Structure 1
Amino acid sequence: MAGVSLTGISLQVLHTPSTSSLANTTDDNRRGLCRALWGWKFCDSCEASGACALVSCPRNRIPSLGRYFGHYKELVCSYSHDLEYHRKDAVVSSHEEIFDVIRILKEQPNITRDALARQAFRDPTNMGMESEQEHVVGLAVKALTMVYSTHWLKQNAEHDNGDLVSPNWMKDVPFHEFLEGLFPMTDHPGFGEDSSSSFWELKSNITGSKLIRRGGLTFAPTEDLSNHLKLNRRTGVIEIFHYTAFLKENLRITKYIKEAMGIEESIRLGALPRQLALEALDSIQKIIFPLSDPSAVTLLQRLVVDKNFDEDCLRFEASAIRQPHETNTRYLYFGARLADIYDELENPTPRGFISRWAKRKGAGHANIATIVAVVIALIFGLVTLGLGGFQAWISWQQWKHPIDG
């Protein structure tokens, strides 16, 4: 088979029509994706006519997943634009073949990327197709876990905040070990204890409005769950993984499972670890943008409009996705990042010229106001001196050239 070389394309290119059948995602494709990911079972009416007759049918949740399906379509389009019209040697040529890769990942979460290629593709040894195989695997991984496993997809992300150091899934690494490396657990003091006094104090100090007003920080959407709550101290940007409907579907799968499961066991069910999904969801809806606070809701609504955040961020759900005791969340995956944000609020990174100069001189951020006052006083002093000199010159001119009466 003849190989194809994948080259970087911009998202603008994805808006041009593609000749590949993969470029179109239909309602059947969306339902097929939900079956492959989360094992959805649709009612008989859905299967027969596409019109749902039961309130309990999962098809009723498809509208809330609109942003997630839109992201999946962009991922598929990024692949289909590299295919020639009706090319026969493409690694995959249908959505169902992508779903098959997802099913293999679920059934064998300990599989290596090399073994996955041998099992999933017709000619895994063709070196000319290796980059295309990596692209398809990355697409399946992203659909299942919402993390990037290949730099190619990362560079073509809709919201790319400059973090291109995310690791690739190497050929000889089991899938679950790759994910464990992305999400290490650390019991961070303060955020690791859900009932401690320090937890409530830290939590109340890092709401979105305070981070903007006191810290001069801003928020940007990210499509990579592993980048959630990452703070870029140089730019003052906090990345927010905003696909909350996706997180809720993961939580529905594991709601009735009592024992704690690791990444490998969770992936077999088509879900992220429950603790991970809860932390990501609650850090948005209970800490950064607490939906009980009208000002936080207003801020989140503005981000939905201005920054294209998923509108589902504004929908709080409890009984459908939470166990009775899951009211306060410990932060074992994202505690260190929350603490990093809190530290930035307490010890802001200098970003303006005066702030950086003060930092270099060792004056500290607390003395910036004093420095500004000294500069202003110096300016006023120079202006006063200039006016005094001008008045002296006028007086000297009047003495030297008196006006005869």
Structure 2
Amino acid sequence: MANSFFPLRQVGNLDLQNLGETLWDWRFCGSCVDKPSCTASGSCPWSRAGRLSSYWAAFKAITKTYIPDHVGDPPALRHHKDLLDLIKVIKDRPKTSRKDLILEHFGRRMSIENGRCTHDQNRAFGIAASILLCMASADSHERMNTIEAGMPFPPWRDTLSIETYMDETFPQDLNAYFDYNRSYSERGVVLGALSVRNLQSVRINLEATSDIRYHLMFDNSTRVLQVFHCTSVLQEILLASKENPAASYLPQALILELLDTMQLLFPPNQETSDLRGSLVRRQGFDADLLFNESAGFRRHDDLMEVTYAYFGNRLARLYDELKDPSPRNWFERLFEGGTKSAERKMLMATTIGVFIAVTIGLLGLVIAGFQAWVGYQQWKHPVKDQ
């Protein structure tokens, strides 16, 4: 009975292996089927399963909450195979609209009235898309097709294909900091300043996210910078695309740029290595952070000069925050007024100096007044000698 209410709750090693085969064209050695790890061959992709632990955890978290409608037709997802079939349909047909994918896929085995998709089918599609695209799952079709108040990203509308949706979600915009008109040294100054250590010096804290859309999203009110930490998934996509370029269901330029931003945050040195270990142990970052590299996953025809067309604006905002930190408390906010950090500090120092001078002056006035009162009392009431 429990399985009928939660058909995707139980996830075994074989389910994860089938997921890897669907997403990244994994081919196994044959001796590790349904086993937790593979030690028979270093070339077997299942030997890398441990580095995908955060992605497996995200997959389980998304699938375990699926509950079929149980009204009329059979559930849209009866078991994990149905989910993997739907993922494959989305992956293999990047130019087909969302609505057409749902109608054609579920129309093969379920009744669809008047060309309309059911709530359960839309929910199943949302789960499959979130697993494929490394994005948070939408609980309902309405949420996917309605721009909520404060929603920072466009919804995947029925008329959009996966290619168009990704273009809308990750528009390319070359920031002035990374324009080719700027010299290499000028760009180097900006990029070299964006290490986590420097960000921490202005009270910016890191938070792991498994939603690729939130990578490098900075919330000034909480001083939290979100970092996409399931980088092992991106590396698997790049490995698969080396043999088959069509296997990359996310834009390769987006993947490489994201991996390169990780190099900016965590430059290769001992201090950063210690910080990575701390983030993995204490804040739940994926263990792949300890081995983060991007150059090894580039093809020979990939451009080594990154333009940061996807994440350039977010990097620029972080750099601006480093140059001109936001006020930390109510007293600093009194002097904000559009001024930069140096000017704000000068105003604060001047104001504090004036306040101290006025305070000392008032104290001097009080003391002088008290002394005058004492003198008056002595004059008015002289003490007679015995």
TMscore range, shorter length = 0.7 to 0.9
Question: Hey, what's the Cα distance between the residues in 2 that align with 1:270 and 1:314?
Answer: 24
Structure 2 residue 5 is the aligned partner of structure 1 residue 28: no
2:321 to 334, 344, 347: 344
TM superposition shift of 1:79: 1.6
* Unpaired stretches in structure 1, ≥5 consecutive residues: 1-15, 156-161, 258-265
Question: 1:112: which partner in 2?
Answer: 97
Question: 1:332: which partner in 2?
Answer: 309
> Which residue identity is paired with 2:265?
I
Question: 1:230: which partner in 2?
Answer: 217
Question: 1:205: which partner in 2?
Answer: 193
TM superposition shift of 1:63: 0.8
The two structures have a TM-score, normalised by structure 2, of 0.82
Kept in 2: contact 1:117–1:124 (CA 8 A): no
Structure 2 residue 65 is the aligned partner of structure 1 residue 78: yes
Question: Hey, what's the Cα distance between the residues in 1 that align with 2:206 and 2:237?
Answer: 24
Question: 2:265: which partner in 1?
Answer: 288
Q: 3-state DSSP class of the match of 2:8?
A: helix
Moved more, 226-235 or 380-389: 380-389
> Which residue identity is paired with 2:7?
S
Kept in 1: contact 2:73–2:111 (CA 8 A): no
Kept in 2: contact 1:154–1:164 (CA 8 A): no
Question: 1:316: which partner in 2?
Answer: 292
Question: Hey, what's the Cα distance between the residues in 1 that align with 2:132 and 2:86?
Answer: 10
Question: Hey, what's the Cα distance between the residues in 2 that align with 1:25 and 1:65?
Answer: 15
Question: 2:238: which partner in 1?
Answer: 251
Q: 3-state DSSP class of the match of 1:220?
A: strand
> Which residue identity is paired with 1:343?
D
Match runs of 1:165-176 below 5 Å: 165-176=152-163
TM superposition shift of 1:48: 8.4
Q: 3-state DSSP class of the match of 1:62?
A: helix
Question: 2:203: which partner in 1?
Answer: 216
Question: Hey, what's the Cα distance between the residues in 2 that align with 1:154 and 1:62?
Answer: 35
Q: Residues 29-56 of structure 1, C-alpha deviation per residue, up to 9 Å, x if partnerless?
A: 1001111111111112124877732121
> Which residue identity is paired with 1:269?
A
Structure 2 residue 283 is the aligned partner of structure 1 residue 297: no
Q: 3-state DSSP class of the match of 1:56?
A: coil
Question: Hey, what's the Cα distance between the residues in 2 that align with 1:19 and 1:388?
Answer: 80
> Which residue identity is paired with 1:39?
D
Match runs of 1:128-277 below 5 Å: 130-148=118-136, 150=138, 164-191=151-178, 196-213=184-201, 215-255=202-242, 268-277=246-255
TM superposition shift of 1:217: 2.4
The two structures have a TM-score, normalised by structure 1, of 0.78
Q: Residues 162-195 of structure 1, C-alpha deviation per residue, up to 9 Å, x if partnerless?
A: 9633222111112211111112223334435598
Question: 1:40: which partner in 2?
Answer: 26
Q: Residues 334-383 of structure 1, C-alpha deviation per residue, up to 9 Å, x if partnerless?
A: 223222322232233345323322123x5543222233323433146425
Q: Label 1:76 to 1:195 Cα distance change in 2 as closer, same or farther (>3 A).
A: farther
Aligned residues: 369
* Unpaired stretches in structure 2, ≥5 consecutive residues: 144-148
Q: Label 1:327 to 1:316 Cα distance change in 2 as closer, same or farther (>3 A).
A: farther
TM superposition shift of 1:312: 0.8
Question: Hey, what's the Cα distance between the residues in 2 that align with 1:212 and 1:403?
Answer: 68
Moved more, 123-132 or 96-105: 123-132
Question: 2:256: which partner in 1?
Answer: 278
Question: 1:99: which partner in 2?
Answer: 84
Q: Label 1:404 to 1:323 Cα distance change in 2 as closer, same or farther (>3 A).
A: farther
TM superposition shift of 1:389: 1.5
Question: Hey, what's the Cα distance between the residues in 2 that align with 1:169 and 1:380?
Answer: 61
Q: Residues 94-120 of structure 1, C-alpha deviation per residue, up to 9 Å, x if partnerless?
A: 111010011101221112111121122
Kept in 1: contact 2:214–2:228 (CA 8 A): yes
Question: Hey, what's the Cα distance between the residues in 1 that align with 2:179 and 2:142?
Answer: 31
